[in-house]
Amino acid sequence: GKHRIVIPCLGNFKEEYEKVSKLYMNNKIRTTRYTLLNFLPRNLFEQFHRVANLYFLFLVVLNWVPLVEAFQKEITMLPLLGVLTIIAVKDGLEDYSRYKMDKQINNLVTKVYSR
């Protein structure tokens, strides 16, 4: 059958470890949903999957039509922008705490069984 050789990342084996470890995927835990580059588009995509946010977006768009305009155009955007901002900040803080926990778990010292 198939077997795998495990090389410790210590002392004399450091060079061999770096050469062999490039062949395998790492085993780091990553539970975060966002990165700095995809936070805004991905968060907005997730928020507009909620029916309430789509409803308020519909009202904002509808208010830009001159025949249907009930309030000032800018005022109808305030509730939607407020809700989107609050939820984005909450999601960002939750994701950051997940990132810190992942970093803590990935840096734990482990025991390696050796015959």
Confidence at residue 72, expressed as pLDDT on a 0 to 100 scale: 80
| pLDDT digit string, tens, across residues 52-100 | 999 999 988 888 888 877 778 788 889 899 999 999 999 999 999 999 9
* Helices (H), ranges, 1-115: 14-21, 39-47, 51-63, 73-106
Report yes or no on 35 lying in a domain: yes
Report yes or no on 54 lying in a domain: yes
- Residue that has been written with the tokens 């926990």 in this structure: 101
- pTM for the predicted model, two decimal places: 0.70
For 93-108, what is the mean pLDDT? 92
More confident residue, 51 or 113: 51
Whether the predicted pLDDT of 107 surpasses 70: yes
Confidence at residue 76, expressed as pLDDT on a 0 to 100 scale: 84
Report yes or no on 71 lying in a domain: yes
Q: Which helix (H) or strand (E) holds 25?
A: none
Give the number of domains in the chain.
Answer: 1
Report yes or no on 55 lying in a domain: yes
Report yes or no on 3 lying in a domain: no
Report yes or no on 102 lying in a domain: yes
Q: Name the residue range of residue 56's domain.
A: 31-107
| pLDDT digit string, tens, across residues 11-56 | 677 777 777 777 777 778 889 999 999 999 999 999 999 999 999 9
Instruction: Output the average pLDDT for the chain.
Output: 85
Report yes or no on 20 lying in a domain: no
Report yes or no on 5 lying in a domain: no
Q: Is 43 helix (H, G, I), strand (E, B) or coil?
A: helix
